[in-house]
Amino acid sequence: MATIIELPIETFSGPVDPDWCPGCGDFGVLKSVKMGAAKAGVAPKDLVIVSGIGCSSNLPGFIHAYGVHSLHGRAVAVASGIHLANTSLKVVITGGDGDGYGIGIGHFIHAMRRNLDITYVVMNNQIYGLTTGQASPTTSKEMRTKSTPRGNVEFPINPLALALVSGATYVARAFSGEPNHMADLIASGIQHKGFALIDVFSPCVTYNKLNTYQFFKKRVYKLEDEVGYHTGDMRAAFEKAFEWGDRIPLGLLYADQQPTYEDSEPAYKRGPLVHQPLGVEPAVFQSLIEELM
Amino acid sequence: MGDLQIGIGGAAGDGLDKAGDTLAKTASRLGLYVSAYNSYQSVIRGGHIWLRVRLGQEKVYSHGDHLNVLIALNQDSIERHAPEVVSGGVVMFNSDKLKCNIALREGVTQAPLPIGALTKPFGPMQPVMQNTVALGALLFLGGLEFDVIAEVLGETFAHKGKPVVDQNVNLARAGYDYAKANFKPLAVKWNFTRKRRPFLTGNEAFAISAVAAGCRFYSAYPMTPASAILHWMATHAERCGVVVKQGEDELAVANMAIGAGYAGVRSMCGTSGGGFALMTEAIGLAGMIEAPVVIVEVQRGGPSTGIPTKTEQADLNQVYGASQGDFPRVIIAPSDVADCYASTVEAFNLADKYQLPVILISDLLLSEHPETIEPDEMPAEVPIDRGALVTSWDTAKGRYKRYAFTKDGVSPRALPGTANTIHVAPSDDHDEEGVLISDIFTNTALRRKISEKRMKKMDTLMKDLPAPKLEGPSDAEVTLISWGSSRGVVHEAIALLAAAGVRANQLHFKYLLPFHAREAKEILSRAKRTICIEANATGQFARHLRAETGFSVSDHYLKYDGEPFEPLQIVDRVRAILAGRAHSLDVTQEEASEIAYHYVRVHLGEDLRPGRLEKAAGNGAGEQIWRIEIVNRDSGEKRGELRVGVETGSTHSWQAIA
């Protein structure tokens, strides 16, 4: 394994200041993404941040790296294409819970099944913020929002459990109130070979009055402090994924080394697609024509 | 000039497609030109399959409009298609099982094959054996030399071992010898040049052209009639160095292809109308972030799930209107298999040069029918133009601006991984550097200029596209307007019209967007009369033509029954229009029979079929009716009467004989 040369966090300072509400959890995530990339030693030119649509999806504009600010729900698909085209880049997806667990949940699940070598940081605030406060797929039951004035009747998505059953090989949870801890998880997610999910409690200070910084501060604890917890134990990871109440776990729930999609793809024997010459060799082309005659 | 039109009809699962392939390949290797069409259904077994194969000494542009030989593998095929065989032709069938007891045209002969006796020496009878025997007999009837079919069968069955190969060659030989001893050959003369030419479908042409043009990423979700591109790509991916990704849906497919295009590989995705509907938002994204991508839209009959295995040209409105907002896009409608090859190369170059989505709009007919093309129509070396790419940037020149406002609208593109050109490609509107001008930063001046910059590319790229040309006599009494796959069939119809004393010419459109409005208007303003021929119900292209040029066509020939145009159909319709005869939408006798077949299959079971038909007064139905005798399939004994409305096509009543 190549030695990692950590970069100064300023390497990733973006051209524009974030337009998030003061106190938004996403500030912490932005800082941790920069720190994580710096720790993982990824040069800005080799980093592509892909997002969808939502408050959190504006993140690529606030960091010095290549970025695609794509469509609502489609960040994972766009990122998959970028990664498959140029496997020498590090692709990090940043988005929200509505984007990833609602409109884009299909791509989320299938990208994990494929174990693409991509890192996905979800700023999960359990509400739709940009559209001013409707229920999201992770909104707690009975919570009142603009679209659920009588209380949310739908069962919330459990992204960690979903990731575990979908074949993700790196499943972690972080909290905006713990940016250093989050940065470590992001750095190791980037370094992990395979699909890494880092679900982040990133409180919406404007529209979610239930899942606030205080709410989480009182409840969260770190799995690495738990004696005897092993990240290779799927059963234990499941238990932790469902733990919700007085104690809510943060940290790496599960990690496993499995072959990635790219490992099984013969086209990469010749290197990243983008660096390969165009067209096919004359002998190969001739064989294609022969089949038709 | 040698021209032989063959129809093969039977049940799905009879192995007809393979028989058709063998015939087509054999003729092609003898140096003949072939065009075929498989009128299949979306069922694995059962149902009626109808395969058309046309052989020509010269290039043939369609599957034709009549039959010289019918190979009937079930009774339905005799009943439905034997009347299409023209004088001098032959109806061939398995006389162990089938009877040709219907009226044939004058000069048509029967060629009954005793399949049981012919196959007996070669092991236990399997239904597919009759195909090979019939092919052998057809070779004799059609004056085709036998040696090539042995070679083709050898290749087809090589994977099953020598005994199977030998068995099939012997079966074909038995058919050939039997025909020689018992039937007269058709009056057709060939010159077998044995020149080898590629014989392929439009979908194969799209796929092979894509790899020749450097496509390295293909994504798709299975959908008829585009799936064959996915299958070809998957089968040849390793050899051609292509990553083929079957996505979870067309949203993923399009967005992945755009991601790959943004990252710098030539990428393509393919689908039909329903899948394209899911791709539309992504196509707008490609327009906005200026990512090159090629999308193949193979139309089938719509709306909704529609008629999945039938052809139509009714997705034009959809491709024009795909996605919200204004953005540059190119729409190219290839006209034949060779043009699928050429257009795909063009599509990749336009996508790269102008950094936008290019849509290749095909249809089931074009994509799935195989055709002989010239070897030089699919060159290995194709022109490749990747457009303005920034591979290094000297910061002394200032900041790199991904969306720099330029006079031609094209902003040199830097790929991720390049030093000093870091930027964000945003789906929100943005300034030259990619910084958002939406939301709280909305800036009207920048919004106007970035929009103009993007749309300017449409004017710039126009110079790369050849203008439409009038083909045929300039003083023709009628101009036939076509687009996409109907170029060839209209071309053939014009020759037939000329033979019948009608001077017609053709104005065909391949580049649908941007549109050569000035050139089209100039040509059309000189036309005496115009008929727009398209396979849809509402005249979508004629409407587009009117929107672009202000020109309204005089008449339409619209076909939306799922089957492709045939030359004679066009001739008949054009002559009717010129003679001022109003087109009737009444149910014809053939159609009444088809409606009866459907009723019989759904409600009465497989042992009955429609018999005699006659038009009669309504008798309470409020319209004239077709009285259709329903008879026993074997005995021909009448079992009842079905009444179908002449105007509405409604099945008014079924009366069984007690």
Q: What token pair was written down for A153? A: 């009747």
- What pLDDT, on the 0 to 100 scale, is given for residue B113? 96
Phi, psi of A34 (to 5 degrees): -60, -45
Q: Residues B33-80: pLDDT tens digits? A: 999 998 876 554 567 788 999 999 999 999 999 999 999 998 888 988
Tell me the residues of chain B between 635 and 654 that have a Cβ less than 8 Å away from chain A: none
Distance (Å, whole) CA B634 – CA B642: 19
* Cβ–Cβ < 8 Å for B610, B598: no
- What pLDDT, on the 0 to 100 scale, is given for residue B126? 82
Q: What token pair was written down for B18? A: 């393979």
Query: Is B214 at the interface with chain A, CB within 8 A?
Result: yes
Q: What token pair was written down for B33? A: 């030109």
Q: Among all residues of chain A, which has the CA nearest to that of B419?
A: A45
List C-alpha distances in Å: B626 to B195, B385, B429, B589, B612.
51, 61, 61, 8, 10
Choose the closest CB to B427 out of A70, A77, A276: A70
Q: Which chain A residues have a beta carbon less than 8 Å from that of B236?
A: 288
* Cβ–Cβ < 8 Å for B58, B390: no
Supply the mean pLDDT for chain B: 95
Query: Is B261 at the interface with chain A, CB within 8 A?
Result: yes
Look at A85 and B212 and tell me if their CB atoms are within 8 Å: no
Distance (Å, whole) CA B164 – CA B422: 62
String of DSSP letters for B211-272: HHTTEEEEEE---TTTHHHHHHHHHHHHHHT-EEEE-SSHHHHHHHHHHHHHHTSEEEEEE-
- Number of neighbouring beta carbons within 10 Å of residue B334: 29
SS (H, E, C) A94-162: EEEHHHHHHHCHHHHHHHHHHCCCCEEEEEECCCECCCCCECCCCCCCCCCECCECCCCCCCCCCHHHH
Average pLDDT for residues B541-554, to the nearest whole number? 98
Share above pLDDT 70 across residues of chain B, in percent, rounded to a whole number: 98
Query: Is B435 at the interface with chain A, CB within 8 A?
Result: yes
* Cβ–Cβ < 8 Å for B252, A80: yes
Look at B212 and A287 and tell me if their CB atoms are within 8 Å: no
Choose the closest CB to A279 out of B214, B375, B423: B214
Phi, psi of B249 (to 5 degrees): -170, 175
Query: Is A53 at the interface with chain B, CB within 8 A?
Result: yes
Beta strands in B444-602 (DSSP E): 470-471, 478-483, 504-509, 511-513, 530-534, 555-558
Average pLDDT for residues A175-200, to the nearest whole number? 98
pLDDT at residue A1 above 60?
no
Q: Residues A34-67: pLDDT tens digits? A: 999 999 999 999 999 999 999 999 999 999 999 9
Segments forming the whole domain that contains residue A104: 9-290
Mutate to test the interface with A, among B255, B341, B385 (most CBs of A within 10 A): B255
Of A25-34, B114-123, B220-229, least confident by mean pLDDT is B114-123
- What pLDDT, on the 0 to 100 scale, is given for residue B45? 52
Range B470-578 has CATH code 3.40.50.920: yes
Q: Look at residue A237 and tell me if it is in a domain.
A: yes
Q: Residues B412-442: pLDDT tens digits? A: 999 999 999 999 999 999 999 999 998 666 7
Look at A46 and B439 and tell me if their CB atoms are within 8 Å: no
Distance (Å, whole) CA A184 – CA A180: 6
Range B3-182 has CATH code 3.40.920.10: yes
Distance (Å, whole) CA A274 – CA B216: 8
Query: Is A271 at the interface with chain B, CB within 8 A?
Result: no
- What pLDDT, on the 0 to 100 scale, is given for residue A123? 98
Look at A89 and B416 and tell me if their CB atoms are within 8 Å: yes
Topology agreement, domain B199-377 and domain B470-578? yes
Q: Residue B248's closest CA among A210, A162, A76? A: A76
Q: Look at residue A3 and tell me if it is in a domain.
A: no
Q: Residue B598's closest CA among B529, B544, B540, B650? A: B650
Q: Where are the domains of chain B?
A: 3-182, 199-377, 389-462, 470-578, 589-656
**Whats the size of chain A, residue-wise?**
293
Query: Is B241 at the interface with chain A, CB within 8 A?
Result: yes
Specify the 3-state DSSP secondary structure of A92.
strand
CATH class of the structural domain B199-377: alpha beta
> Would you state the torsion angle of the CA atoms of residues B52, B53, B57, B61, taken in this order, to the nearest 10 degrees?
50
Average pLDDT for residues B198-226, to the nearest whole number? 98
- What pLDDT, on the 0 to 100 scale, is given for residue B440? 63
Work out the minimum CA distance from A212 to partner chain B, whole angstroms.
Answer: 26
A with B: how many residue pairs have Cβ under 8 Å apart?
212
* Cβ–Cβ < 8 Å for B514, B354: no
Q: Which chain A residues have a beta carbon less than 8 Å from that of B378?
A: 289
Q: Which chain A residues have a beta carbon less than 8 Å from that of B440?
A: 19
- What pLDDT, on the 0 to 100 scale, is given for residue B441? 61
Q: Look at residue A231 and tell me if it is in a domain.
A: yes
Mutate to test the interface with A, among B267, B424, B440 (most CBs of A within 10 A): B424
Tell me the residues of chain A between 136 and 195 that have a Cβ less than 8 Å away from chain B: none
Q: Residues B485-516: pLDDT tens digits? A: 999 999 999 999 999 999 999 999 999 999 99
Average pLDDT for residues B206-216, to the nearest whole number? 98
CATH code at position A102: 3.40.50.970
- What pLDDT, on the 0 to 100 scale, is given for residue B41? 64
Query: Is B26 at the interface with chain A, CB within 8 A?
Result: no
pLDDT at residue B561 above 90?
yes
- What pLDDT, on the 0 to 100 scale, is given for residue B658? 78
Q: Residues B621-631: pLDDT tens digits? A: 999 999 999 99
List C-alpha distances in Å: B630 to B104, B594, B645.
20, 12, 16
Look at A66 and B423 and tell me if their CB atoms are within 8 Å: yes
Confidence of residue B137 (pLDDT cuts 50, 70, 90): very high
Query: Is B422 at the interface with chain A, CB within 8 A?
Result: yes
Pairing assessment for the beta strands A66-69 and B638-645 based on DSSP bridges: unpaired
Q: Residue B139's closest CA among B190, B179, B171? A: B179
* Cβ–Cβ < 8 Å for B64, B488: no
Q: Residues B292-303: pLDDT tens digits? A: 999 999 999 999
Q: Residues B63-122: pLDDT tens digits? A: 999 999 999 998 888 988 999 999 999 999 999 999 998 889 999 999 999 999 999 998
Mutate to test the interface with B, among A11, A45, A68, A115 (most CBs of B within 10 A): A68
H/E segment holding residue B88? strand B85-94
Query: Is A88 at the interface with chain B, CB within 8 A?
Result: yes
Q: Residues A128-152: pLDDT tens digits? A: 999 999 999 999 999 999 999 999 9
Query: Is A279 at the interface with chain B, CB within 8 A?
Result: yes
- What pLDDT, on the 0 to 100 scale, is given for residue B503? 98
Pairing assessment for the beta strands B85-94 and B109-113 based on DSSP bridges: parallel
List C-alpha distances in Å: B481 to B470, B497, B506, B561.
10, 15, 6, 20
- The conformation of residue B478, written as its DSSP 8-state character, comes to E
Q: Look at residue A45 and tell me if it is in a domain.
A: yes
pTM above 0.95, yes or no: yes
Q: Residues B170-196: pLDDT tens digits? A: 999 999 999 999 999 999 999 999 999
Look at A278 and B214 and tell me if their CB atoms are within 8 Å: yes
Look at A77 and B418 and tell me if their CB atoms are within 8 Å: no
H/E segment holding residue B91? strand B85-94
Specify the 3-state DSSP secondary structure of B402.
coil
> Would you state the torsion angle of the CA atoms of residues B132, B138, B144, B150, taken in this order, to the nearest 10 degrees?
10
Phi, psi of B631 (to 5 degrees): -125, 165
Q: Residues A150-161: pLDDT tens digits? A: 999 999 999 999
Pairing assessment for the beta strands B243-246 and B293-299 based on DSSP bridges: unpaired
- What pLDDT, on the 0 to 100 scale, is given for residue B401? 98
> How many folded domains does chain A comprise?
1
Look at B267 and A85 and tell me if their CB atoms are within 8 Å: yes
pLDDT at residue B388 above 90?
yes
Look at A106 and B248 and tell me if their CB atoms are within 8 Å: yes
Share above pLDDT 70 across residues of chain A, in percent, rounded to a whole number: 99
- Number of neighbouring beta carbons within 10 Å of residue B113: 26
Choose the closest CB to A86 out of B199, B417, B428: B417
Confidence of residue B380 (pLDDT cuts 50, 70, 90): very high
Pairing assessment for the beta strands B651-656 and B638-645 based on DSSP bridges: antiparallel
Specify the 3-state DSSP secondary structure of B339.
helix
Is the ipTM here above 0.90? yes
Work out the minimum CA distance from B86 to partner chain A, whole angstroms.
Answer: 31
Q: Look at residue A220 and tell me if it is in a domain.
A: yes
